[in-house]
Structure 1
């Protein structure tokens, strides 16, 4: 698989490869899900006998029926009228004002009406004519009220009153005011005004008044009567709105029977079938667009995640293919399980080992991507296993798949042994059982005792099967994609591994040195957020090349005899440099992970072998510095950079005489500074701040390892002997 992937990558660049991969993934998802989203329709005609009982596949509001109910509620609302008692007093005051002005005009006519002056300048006075009085009255009336009042009453009414005696006018005024009081003390609406006018007319008709004055009084009385209870449009509309809002929407409930088998389809049933899109003639391709949007969303989520994942492109491509295979394989397995629905096996979706996918992604990639996978599979599962429920989604299955997948991720995330997979499967089974009973007990469906036994079998079958499938499939993905999972690292850290046993037996000093470097590099990597476990296990193997010529390395020289003293520096240089190259070849021969090979070849980078370089310069002047440098390449990752520092630091501190905290800190700083100035970290993404954290972490660890021993005083001296 790895060789095939490398060939594909050589043909296409990263962007083209990524685009093609996600395009294929989208097409596969679309093809797998299309049969599960296609709506079911019926060939039903109006006034024909239904061949089968038809249920509503969804809950939908019957807008037409709801609108009818709202209109009915609005029509039943009584109009709101507002009674104004002050209207009666205002009308009485107006009539009273008219009678007062009649008397006032009569008095002015008799006493103060001027005529034309004579030659002598004397002014003669005589009463105004009726026409003049009427003109004066109307002027006063308009000035004190408005023009509409004067125009609403005929001039004959005013003329009759102007010609009457003051006593008769006072009587007429009292009669009219009394009858206005009597008639308008009742609530009068606009429709009731004509009847009230007739009422006051009949009352005044009975009064003892001269005919002309009586007719004028009747006219004024009818004029005075107006509606004192007016229609309140605002409040009425508010009540109508309230009544319409109180009408609950008429719904066609999901699962409700629209047509019973054997019924003649009436217009109302036909309308409901049309409303929920169950008629063949109403079928559309909307579901195709909806599924396309869903698939695009899934692909987009995965694309964005991988786009922002800060890992090398080569590794990113491997991970994208791996995740796609797990995703598609899980969906194919779902489709196979979904076929059991045809056998009417109750709630068979609960048997599906959905935690398998999340466990595989957790072990091979990371927890965050596993959580995303759990969510996506929960939604896809709700579509695939929706056969037993109405609608396009099975919410119960979605909840079950989501919790099962998340639990597989959470429990397995910190486990480093394969036996932990079985333990996780058991925990997932317990959680599955809890979720099933949560769904069942909250639901309204009755179940028999035997059904609960099935639920227990489903829960444990799903969890245990997930663990077994994970254990079985995991090695194929690890080998096929060259993925160094956490569990693989733990297995390689076993001291019984042939290569580690070889280091221990052939180069025990190197073995001890490697263990110390492993301890230091692990804590330093974890301090900067790098992979501490990879650094630890990789450090065990980083000096495997020394086993070919172990006695040429000082940690393995037990008798203080250094063979480098008997050979030229050029030969010593070749031997020292060879251990990095030999280590890489040995690891390749044993098919060890690429990460370990990189650590063996890169942990010295292109650094200078200073001792033999300066030794060579003592005898020759034409020595080139590049001849005494490791071939590299320089460290490409943070983990290798940290291992390179820990490797040099451990060896240097071990050779110190009586190391102190200050000496250790100064030594570590100088080694990191020397590597930094030499450009050894130029090809990895480690930062200066992270190097500072590495320095502090290494100093703290070394102080704990090489702490100074307290010198206890001699007991005899202490006693003064």
Structure 2
């Protein structure tokens, strides 16, 4: 049982990667649409590149979105509006009119005129109540068809213009009395009508909308039928408008019929294979070319998380509205990966992500071309991300590339620019603005995953930071030594293409452990008294060796990133504290060498190897007497050759050629430090 547990524990890192791989594959497949893909690619206005195509089954030609929209507009214009009429009041209106009229006209001398006026008023009432009076005026065209309902029964069907508006009785009265002998009685009749005329037509909005929805839902989505084995298009034939609509209809029918529920499991299985294959390529790339990343499960998780995040955002946008597809800032992926790792890894992961998205996006070839080109531009243009101007310039270049490439594809598809929508370019501008979110995103990732970017390194390199200020006050000699080492290491890193910012920051903090016992280190001794004179060689060596452990403790207490702590751990490797070792050996031949040896580990990257070389050279250079170019060259050669002979660089991915380049830089820098000049003849 213990053997099994030990075996599992020994391989826990690999097991975690397998589980991460499976989980990511499952989530991506879950996000993908559960349907197959049409096996033919076609574009309007381009030749048909596949074999001559015949209809594999009977299918209907689907109407375009514009055709369906036009039919909807036609229905909206021709559909009827429904009104409920209240007939109860209209039946009593004449009795009310007669009573109001008698009250208004009591003078018997006007008997003849009263009869004419009374008849005129009755006629007006009959006219305005013929179809009914509206409670309010609605925004309908005059020719709009109106259905009048009495109860639930259709009574009449007229135009909207036939209905009397709320103030229609005024218009009717003016029309009847104008140019007549009874114009003087207009106000009297008007006052009667004001009292008795009430609207009796109410708009039935619910029924009108229900009928409208029913008519719209009854719109046929297809027109015409293609019989099985009918020739659709021949090889080399240009895909015109008609052929394009037929091919789109076939694609939709193909995916709905062929990829039916019975084949669902096969579709899922096929998607799983392709996604797993793509993610496997990413893992193999890390294992072969980025082994330090592959061995770090947090970093592998970080990469997979970002790939999954980009796919999730794209799927959400497609499900909402595929027209906004290019708003997704996919170039954030290579930007983030370049900030934390390197450009090659960023581009590789970006390309694989775009390949995965090619399964689900419309116009997949166009989308993949644009995104891959944009990713390449991102990698080529973005450098020193911690400089804000660089990011803004790069985002501008990325946006410009998007616009140019999209314009080119549009012209190829349409053959002209008359139908080009300027709004589409706005989507690319929004994408560029969203890409600027990479700065706060990098900060968030640093806190969540414990990674370090150039932005954080720039902050840590500030010599006014709390920890470096403390080092400057408590161990000024060590601080000065660290600055010199940082300058040397940065120059060496630039020469061989290593991370100069990282090695500079690592150099600034590599000796912070000396703050615990600063006076025991020669660079901090300002007087002739040496505290080591009162200690044995073993005790002195222990204090010297412990500055590494003390440095790690101080770094962790001050929340320095692990990548910086690695410099503290490795800057002496497993070398000997040579001075005290030889001092003890002169008194005792049988000594334990391990008591005088640093605990390691050895440097395991170019940057940590550079620090070891520069630290040793800078510290030992203080002992040079009357330095000359020849002395400096021999001095640098002897120190670095000794470190190589001890195998200090065996774990670092640094070559002999790079070490030789570092030697040249160190020789040149030391010569400048000691101000060597050509000796002129007297």
TM-score range, shorter chain: 0.5 to 0.7
Counterpart selection for 1:466 from 431, 435, 452? 435
Alignment check: 8 A CA contact 2:481 2:619 kept? yes
Give the aligned partner of residue 107 of structure 2: none
Distance 1:398 1:274 in 2: 21
- Aligned partner of 2:42 in structure 1 is none
Max Rg structure: 1
Whether 1:664 and 2:632 are equivalent positions in the alignment is: yes
- Map residues 323-402 of structure 1 onto 2, 5 A cutoff: 323-341=303-321, 347-386=323-362, 393-402=363-372
Q: 1:640 to 1:255 in 2, by over 3 A?
A: farther
Which sits farther off after the overlay, 293-302 or 533-542? 293-302
Report how far residue 491 of structure 1 moved.
2.2
CA distance in 1, matches of 2:237, 2:255: 19
The 1:546–1:442 alpha-carbon spacing in structure 2 relative to 1, beyond 3 Å, is same
Shift of 1:483: 1.9
Q: Does residue 1:302 correspond to 2:278, yes or no?
A: no
**Inter-CA distance 600–281: structure 2 relative to 1 (3 Å threshold):** closer
Equivalence map 1:500-519=2 (5 Å): 500-519=468-487
Change (3 A) 1:554 1:316: same
Q: Deviations over 1:143-201 (max 9, x none)?
A: xxxxxxxxxxxxxxxxxxxxxxxxxxxxxxxxxxxxxxxxxxxxxxxxxxxxxxxxxxx
SS at match of 2:574: coil
CA distance in 1, matches of 2:373, 2:379: 10
2: CA distance, partners of 1:670 / 1:589 = 37
What residue in structure 1 maps to residue 23 of structure 2?
24
- DSSP-derived class of the 1:633 partner: coil
1:107-154 CA deviation, whole Å, 9 max, x = no partner?
xxxxxxxxxxxxxxxxxxxxxxxxxxxxxxxxxxxxxxxxxxxxxxxx
Assess if the C-alpha contact under 8 Å between 2:36 and 2:255 holds in 1.
no
Please show how residues 543-558 of structure 1 align to structure 2 within 5 Å. Answer: 543-558=511-526
Instruction: Indicate if the aligned counterparts of 1:54 and 1:257 stay in contact, CA closer than 8 A.
Output: no
Does the CA contact (< 8 Å) of 2:361 and 2:367 recur in 1? yes
Q: Show the counterpart of 1:497.
A: 465
Gaps of 5+ in 1: 1-8, 68-246, 260-268, 387-392
CA distance 1:609–1:403, change in 2 (3 Å): same
Match of 2:243 among 222, 244, 256: 256
Tell me if the contact between 1:22 and 1:299 (Cα under 8 Å) persists in the aligned partners: yes
Q: SS at the partner of 1:632? A: coil
Aligned-partner SS, 1:312? helix
2:490–2:503: 8 Å Cα contact kept in structure 1? yes
Residues 68-217 of structure 1 aligned to structure 2 (within 5 Å):
none
List aligned pairs for 1:483-632, cutoff 5 A: 483-617=451-585, 623-632=591-600
Secondary structure of 2:291's partner?
coil
CA positional deviation for 1:287: 5.2
Query: Partner of 2:426 in structure 1?
Result: 457
Native 8 Å contact 1:641 1:684 kept in 2: yes
Unaligned runs of 5+ in 2: 1-7, 40-54, 62-217
Alpha carbons of structure 1 residues 321 and 673: separation in structure 2 relative to 1, 3 Å:
same
Aligned to 1:428, the other structure's residue is in SS state helix
**2:130 aligned residue:** none
In 2, Cα distance between the equivalents of 1:673 and 1:45? 79
Tell me the TM-score normalised to structure 2 length.
0.64
Cα pair distance change 1:315/1:540, threshold 3 Å:
farther
- In the other structure, the counterpart of 1:105 is none
CA offset at residue 293 of structure 1?
Answer: 4.7
- Mapped to 2, the partners of 1:351 and 1:279 lie a distance apart of 29
In the other structure, the counterpart of 2:662 is: 694
Once the two structures are overlaid, the 10-residue window that deviates more, 325-334 or 289-298, is 289-298
Are the equivalent residues in 2 in contact too, given 1:326–1:357 (CA < 8 A)?
A: yes
SS in 2 for 1:277: helix
- Which residue of 301, 304, 307 corresponds with 1:321? 301
Q: Residues of 2 paired with 1:350 and 1:445: CA distance?
A: 22
What TM-score does the superposition give when structure 1 sets the normalisation length? Answer: 0.61
Tell me if the contact between 1:56 and 1:253 (Cα under 8 Å) persists in the aligned partners: no
Give 1:102's aligned residue. Answer: none
1:257 and 1:694 map into 2 onto residues whose CA distance is: 64
| SS of residue in 2 equivalent to 1:256 | helix
Let me know the Cα RMSD of the aligned residues: 4.1
Partner of 1:534, secondary structure, is helix
Count of residues in Structure 1 that have an aligned counterpart in Structure 2: 501
CA 424–278 in structure 1, closer or farther in 2 if over 3 Å, else same: closer
**How far apart, CA to CA, are the structure 1 residues paired with 2:631 and 2:596?**
28
CA 457–689 in structure 1, closer or farther in 2 if over 3 Å, else same: closer
C-alpha separation between the residues in 2 aligned to 1:561 and 1:423? Answer: 58
Shift of 1:335: 1.7
> What SS class does the counterpart of residue 446 from structure 2 fall into?
helix
In 2, the alpha carbon distance for the partners of 1:293 and 1:54 equals 38
Q: Partners of 1:708 and 1:274 in 2: how far apart?
A: 79
Match of 1:51 in 2: 220
Distance 2:287 2:225 in 1: 43
Work out whether 1:438 is the aligned partner of 2:408.
yes
